Structure 1
Amino acid sequence: MDKTKICITTLEYPPDIGGVGESVHRIAKMLINNGYEVHIVVFRSKQRLASDGTRRRASCTTKFQDNVFVHRIKSAIRSNVTEVQDFFSEIYFQIKYLHQKYNFNLFHAFFLNETGYVTTLLAKENNIPVINSVRGNDLHKHIFHPKNHAQIAWILENSDWVTFVSRDLLKRASIIAPSVKLKSSAFWNSIAPINFEQLPTPSLVNELSGIVIGSLGRFRDKKGIEFLLDACAELGKELDLTLLLVGDFVEKEREYWQQQIQQSQIGHRLCITGITSRQEALAYLPHLDIFAIPSVHDGCPNTLLEAMSASRAIIGTRVDAIAEIIEHGVDGLLVNPGNTKELTAGLRYLATQPQLRQKFGAAAKTKVTQQLAPSVEYQNWINVYQRALGRSEAAFLGIIGADAGTRGRRDAEKLISNKGRGQEAEGRREF
């Protein structure tokens, strides 16, 4: 029997840098190992702009990468500013062409904005099941743009299945589109074991002094770094410490962050590595005494799981999966987002309690190994794919006539993977 063909649309995929790309890559490998044929379609509306006078026709380049078909779509650039509707019209045409060529059995979009609408529209027009995966900003930020609300609601209502990386995101989606409650799963990301001893010594490690408080990522508005700057500046008056930011601020917010650093008066206690490779970023983790993730909202950040894997003492905020994964007082500390006073007190407590830091770190390592292992996420995703395909089969069988029952059932079953049908009742949570 032919393999079931999955088409995943995403804004990024390795070698692109970003948490969504890493998640899609991880899921693609899971699906390949389970016998699916996987196609990744990568596109991003930012690529439609050309300030340097570049002109080009639309294109789609395909590469067979680690047993995955990776299709990178670029829209035409006919002027300095390409209207967004022109961009998505061309993206739709390119994905439709790929579908005609490969005959996909299921579509899966990561991130409701950008990928979700064009993918869902094409899927519904061709009676193909579609999964949409909410990652964070799509419901935490983009939902507040008046032009996005109706589109997001339509995507949620017309999805065959919707996945979330936190219960908070599922709750918000259920308010926007109540039908989501009957066709959704909420489960965390996973992380493979990391051998930190084999990582190279990071370049700035000799510049770190005192208690080292650190955070990793591409720092932007949702990360709450301004509160961490203020907290560490205050603590620096009484403790010898270094605030290490592994990564850099996003370019569009750079002036804001330069201002915040000056206003915090943190001075020489701040060390920023700039953009590094993932290997070097991970290599800094064992050199941290405290890992801080003071996000205002954040989905299920991979950096949290990486810090847990490194047995770091963690202080995070009561938002999204951070608050669901970290148990306050057991494997880390939780504070309310945007509360500099609570964050300062929590950091002070951990900084002066080395045995507690060790206890929290060991507990975090145990939790990430047992509850956030790839095998757990793997089973969750396989269940999701089987459910989405099963819902499509049921809908198909519901419209075929009695005379065509045997033949129709055989045709519908071609949609189902050899690994089995969907399991259990819809709407079960995967935590």
Structure 2
Amino acid sequence: MKTKVCITSLEFPPDVGGVGESVSRIANMLIELGYDVHVAVFRAVFREETAMAAAGEFRRSTCHTTQQNGVTVHRLKPAVRSIQAKAQDYLCDLHSQLRTLHQTYKFDLLHAFFINEMGFVTTLLGHEIGLPVINSIRGADLNKHIFNPAQFSQVAWTLTHSTQTTFVSQDLMHRARIIAPEIENKSAAFWNSIMPIDFDELPEPALAHQLQGTVIGSVGSFRDKKGLEHLFDACQTLRKEKIAEQMTLLLVGDFAEKERNYWEQTLEQSGFADRVVITGKISRQEALAYLPYMDIFAIPSLRDGCPNAMLEAMLAAKAIVGSNVDAIGEIIEDGGDGLLVRPGDTENLTDALRWLMIQSDLRSQLGIAARQKALSQFAPAIEQQNWKRVYETALADHTFSVNQPSANQLSANQPLVNQPLVNQVPLVDVSQQVLSR
């Protein structure tokens, strides 16, 4: 009988977002390894529910189950019963729905993506029903949300009580080990992978006719962490210097809705707004179609995880300018397959962009090297083997743990100090296999 796992995630295709794309990719890897994979999709930020309650619209809790390419997908929504309902009411409802899913399908392991939203509910349930729990930290959950005092203790508890914890960068793992030193022997860091893409097969993007001169592009949901202020300022400086006869800043994606007013105001004040093309929210396939039209891919993030958009730009053989943070700084070899700049340093970013705008041969050289690295070091088979080790270790650790006698089962003449330790089986340090290249 196949080992049955349930992944909890805040998004899953066709939802647009990097976490959803990663969960879909990993779910299919696990299916290839012989696992029966379920994904429970829900949000733990309740904007929709709050708006419904304020409008006097109510509903029962729902679970809509479908099959997507061999993955059983459960989309959960909590009940809206009162205009005074709070987050804990919705979270309690979702916890009950997850328990019901387990009673129906009998899972063997739980795996949460994004620790501050999914992690606590999933880990609490795992301990209640006696299942191992893997938590995967993706970036913003430890780079930003950890600074919410109301969430800190919850995040720390979740890290401590995870059977295994994975990270997409060494920086994230280092921060987590400071918060919860107990996880050192049950944590690993490894990068996302990327499937080869045939860019020649993609259609011409809708706004291609608006791109003029040297095109500096970026892809994502543009919000505080992306460092856009510095990119706007750098582009304005380069325009004044007339480095190129014409230039365009292409933003493939849209501003985060809660920050939209700020970014639109910042862009308007930048002096460069007339040379910016913004696609708005589009599908991944549409976003990929814009990459061949970029001369330089810019990702001046102030913090990040392991952005899929950068890996896609590497596959497209684009010259990359990225901040030396998280996996961006771990992946890009400065001067070898891209250029690294200090986060938040507009002058440093401007210099790097200027150099690449002038040196077309260097752009080509860096782009070819980036593509070669993406094909060799970010092959899905490498990530799949890392997940294989993590899952096997989590299941083995849990079996080892539940088979040990509890303290009240020990005889009076059998001191506790002599008993085998829980989680004594060490996690293979997969980070060394990937990140120490």
Q: Aligned to 2:112, what secondary structure does the other structure show?
A: strand
From 178, 189, 193, the counterpart of 1:175: 178
Deviation at 1:63, TM superposition (A): 1.2
Q: Aligned residue for 1:226?
A: 229
The Cα offsets for residues 11-37 of structure 1, whole Å up to 9 and x where unpaired, read as 001111110001111111111111111
Q: Aligned residue for 1:375?
A: 381
Q: Aligned residue for 1:155?
A: 158
Q: Aligned residue for 2:19?
A: 20
The Cα offsets for residues 123-153 of structure 1, whole Å up to 9 and x where unpaired, read as 0112210000001111111111111111111
The 2-side partners of 1:274 and 1:11 are apart by 21
RMSD: 1.6
Residue type of the alignment partner of 1:272: I
The 2-side partners of 1:191 and 1:221 are apart by 25
Is it true that 1:32 corresponds to 2:31 in the alignment? yes
Q: Aligned residue for 1:58?
A: 61
Q: Aligned residue for 1:411?
A: none
The 2-side partners of 1:324 and 1:392 are apart by 32
Structure 1 residues 344, 14: closer, same or farther in 2, change over 3 A? Answer: same
Instruction: Report the count of equivalent residues.
Output: 411
Q: Aligned to 1:236, what secondary structure does the other structure show?
A: helix
Residue type of the alignment partner of 1:231: A
CA contact (8 A) 1:181 1:427 kept: no
Gaps of at least 5 residues in structure 2 are 411-423
CA contact (8 A) 2:9 2:113 kept: yes
The 1-side partners of 2:174 and 2:124 are apart by 24
Is it true that 1:185 corresponds to 2:184 in the alignment? no
CA contact (8 A) 1:10 1:110 kept: yes
Q: Aligned residue for 2:421?
A: none
Moved more, 54-63 or 340-349: 54-63
CA contact (8 A) 1:213 1:291 kept: yes
Task: Give the TM-score taking structure 2 as reference length.
Answer: 0.91
CA contact (8 A) 1:386 1:423 kept: no
The 2-side partners of 1:293 and 1:267 are apart by 19
Residue type of the alignment partner of 1:70: V
The 1-side partners of 2:200 and 2:176 are apart by 42
Structure 1 residues 267, 142: closer, same or farther in 2, change over 3 A? Answer: closer
Residue type of the alignment partner of 1:264: S
Structure 1 residues 36, 337: closer, same or farther in 2, change over 3 A? Answer: same
Q: Aligned residue for 2:315?
A: 309
The Cα offsets for residues 60-101 of structure 1, whole Å up to 9 and x where unpaired, read as 121122111111111011134530111111111110111111
Residue pairs, 1:278-297, within 5 angstroms: 278-297=284-303
From 242, 247, 256, the counterpart of 2:262: 256
The 2-side partners of 1:212 and 1:313 are apart by 11
Gaps of at least 5 residues in structure 1 are 403-421
Residue type of the alignment partner of 1:29: N
CA contact (8 A) 1:153 1:177 kept: yes
Residue type of the alignment partner of 1:90: D
The 2-side partners of 1:213 and 1:58 are apart by 45
Deviation at 1:52, TM superposition (A): 3.6
Residue pairs, 1:334-353, within 5 angstroms: 334-353=340-359
Deviation at 1:309, TM superposition (A): 0.5
Q: Aligned residue for 1:48?
A: 49
**After TM superposition, where is structure 1 displaced by more than 4 Å over at least 4 residues in a row?**
422-428
Q: Aligned residue for 2:88?
A: 85
Q: Aligned to 2:136, what secondary structure does the other structure show?
A: strand
Residue type of the alignment partner of 2:33: N
Identical residues among aligned pairs (%): 55
The 1-side partners of 2:161 and 2:175 are apart by 17
Residue type of the alignment partner of 1:15: P
Deviation at 1:425, TM superposition (A): 4.8
The 2-side partners of 1:86 and 1:288 are apart by 47
